Chains A and B, each alone.
Chain A
């Protein structure tokens, strides 16, 4: 891919980006209390004594969340740390009941790893993972419910998050977008995070710096709390442009935390380094260090599902798909699940074509996700089967597909009801062809005197007379014989 540059007044600048992704762990219960994590509950419905930090209440680790973190770490091809520590990150805020967040600082549960990102032009890039650690989410402050009061909802307080930190290997907004999508995809395949960005299950902080070619790393700024891939990409560009402008005006970049305003397309300072919190991290004395056994890790390893990269390779090698189609299908768990069901006993390449062109097109047009597709994977498989065995022509198949999408009916029913079955009876076809030749003697003469293009006309006439049902391959062959 071409190098992404920000063009300043005088120089071109490259950007260096590192991401922190906060992914909510798929778990029924919170990280250190038994409270439910259900989304959309009434305010403060899912709050235990521990979540509300009542006196004398103690955290107890949720083993399922540990499994999920290890699973995610393995999916990111990362080192699993058999010894890790939960630390307290101390700061005061109204929606942080304990006055500290339990997180992991010096010894995270997962260390270095890497993921591969792919682009439509077939290029690839490896992005390093610095670490993954577990931490608690805070509650939510609501400032717009009352003219003078703030309200606090502790439903999220204590919900388990995985913070995934990338290395500063990202050098364009597209790479940042691809990286987030890839992480999201891996976590969804692993079932360790639902990846729902609108519901806040996946949020990003972005570290951005710029430099002229060959210069050392510039000072970075952190943009907090971005909740869509689009905003991440937009924020990177806005922030990089701001930094370039500052540098070209002779100003220094101040390390600070900023927020992105998606309406004005600009970032604004939230707090500077001088006002940065001193979080006074120290090991939480209420929790023992976390020690994992080799058995625990290898059990998780042996139950890992196929991940997007592995599926992509399988699709290319075993099903003969193009690299691009393979990466499109393997990107989302739902899509690849759909493909594997639809393709059972069918031709993978034809299934892939119908899936990525017809079905995706129709779903997009109707703003539907593949989960809500009116055509179920087995039904698409059946349709492809009818094409492969010549029961219907490709053209008729498109009509059948449209009908299926509209009504949810099976292809076999539609073909039967509407009598769309392809006519491959050679006597019928010869009869139709003779008819067309007899009725268009002048065109036949023209053709025979060298007007080759008229061949299409004859095919069209025959197909028209057959109501589209004549086997086009046979029509072609017989016509050629008769006319020549």
Chain B
């Protein structure tokens, strides 16, 4: 029998049902693995006692034959989701003492489905970063580092969520994706993750970064596990005005469909960019071949405004962030650097509470919204965003999904990307789908010549997660990726 921590959610579910092991054994295995991997600095808050307690309730339901979708499945939560009575920091000093009195909609759905919480895992501060280095608790280490003798970044912002799954410390984790924060780190850590369509998962109770872009999504080892998690996490929420009032299809239904006879895969030519490593280009071609083998038709498509996506994103996201983060003012909760007058209270609380990257984005966002600059930056960015959306709409008139690399490179070494522009380049393939609110998924599909994981991205039409999952399952099946755990 394979080690428990090497199994998938579906395998654990089956084992629990067949009494191969108990929820307690499962939970203890992941608690031990989490403790063993302490050096990776994944957890901001570790809650093994909570997981153990819930595991007993799950076991009772399983014994009664009344198990729920995720009963007995230990998962980790990105520290951006508010969790009732449990520290929720967004990996920021300004929220380092913040304990919510409420539970986010998405995590509540997970607990209601029987999932067990191992703890809150690290991310870039307020999800702003692509390396997990902006966390006020220090970076997470990519679990692939040890094998490769390097000190690698797990990517970001969901670096803790990707590492916790990659290292076998949890069966799944929640992530959030604003411009690639699920897809880039899962690619770096050799695991799977999907950013569903904007509006699919409720944003209620998730610390906001950029409201028009933020989406929650699952991170798991396999495509089917992601589909299962997404089944639980999705759904209309009347507490989120941007939540989509749509029925949620069963996302697991297409994950075993390996016939692609009538499927058209688009290859956007604008994703061939300078500075992309040859091995990534090779993997991309390999991906097309795999899908072709299954009967899919490969079509080149054009998304002409792709090159404007990154600058557009880095206007809109900071603009929204500058306003969303105004509430962290030291007045009602969070860090307060007490001063005699109000202006100083703001300046010192926020100056001390926010890290450099967050401060940079607040300043950028404030600038692009300022009188005299609004038209040149924010308004123009919104116009370009519409053009990018139209590009995708035209492409999806012709094809079912798009296939692209997830990132231009494999995981980089911690501390190696010092200039913010080169760091922002990590998001070049993930940002367009975010701007268009489309579902997009990264599947680990191969290794670089240095033996580091590489991911392929599948982008689907709005609310067509099922096509994305189906193509992802085919890639996964062909790639036979050598998971670390």
A residues adjacent to B (C-beta < 8 A): 49, 52-61, 88, 90, 92-94, 97-100, 152, 278, 280-282, 284-288
Contacts and interface: CB of A to CB of B under 8 A. Distances in A.
B342 A94 contact: yes
14 contacts: A49-B101, A52-B332, A53-B332, A55-B88, A56-B204, A56-B208, A57-B205, A60-B238, A60-B240, A90-B326, A94-B331, A97-B331, A280-B369, A280-B370
A58 B203 contact: yes
Given A53-B327, A278-B371, 4 more contacts: A54-B82, A55-B98, A286-B208, A288-B241
A97 B327 contact: yes
Contacts of A56: 81-82, 100, 104, 203-208
B21 interface: no
Contacts of A53: 327, 332
B211 interface: yes
Interface string B223-259: 0000000000000001111100000000000000000
Interface string B337-360: 000001000100000000000000
B95 interface: yes
Contact of B327 (A55, A94, A285, A288): A55
A94 B330 CA distance: 9
Contacts of B241: 58-61, 286-288
User: Which 9 residue pairs across A and B have the least CB separation, nearest first?
Assistant: A99-B326, A285-B211, A280-B369, A285-B212, A53-B327, A56-B205, A55-B207, A56-B82, A278-B371
B320 A285 contact: yes
B378 interface: yes
Overall SS of chain A's interface: loop
B111 interface: no
- Chain B contact-residue range equals 35 or more
Contacts of B329: 92, 94, 99
B208 A100 contact: no
Nearest to B365: A280
A388 to B, nearest CB: 59
B337 to A, nearest CB: 15
Contacts of B98: 55
B101 to A, nearest CB: 8
Contacts of A100: 323, 326
A216 B370 CA distance: 31
Interface in B265-299: none
Interface in B74-110: 81-82, 88, 90, 95, 98, 100-102, 104
B208 A99 contact: no
A334 B258 CA distance: 74
B310 to A, nearest CB: 19
B121 interface: no
B327 A99 contact: yes
A388 B100 CA distance: 72
A58 B327 contact: no
Contact of B323 (A52, A57, A282, A287): A282
B393 to A, nearest CB: 19
Given A58-B203, A282-B323, A90 B242 contact: no
Nearest to A34: B239
Contacts of B101: 49
A372 B459 CA distance: 69
B483 interface: no
A412 to B, nearest CB: 58
A53 B342 CA distance: 18
Contacts of A60: 238-241
A112 to B, nearest CB: 25
A280 B323 contact: yes
Nearest to A93: B342
A46 to B, nearest CB: 16
Contacts of B95: 55
Interface string B114-135: 0000000000000000000000
A152 B78 CA distance: 33
B448 interface: no
B113 interface: no
Contacts of A52: 332
Nearest to B330: A94
A93 B346 CA distance: 9
A54 B100 contact: yes
A144 B96 CA distance: 32
Residue in B98, B101, B210, B329 whose Cβ sees the most chain A Cβ within 10 Å:
B329
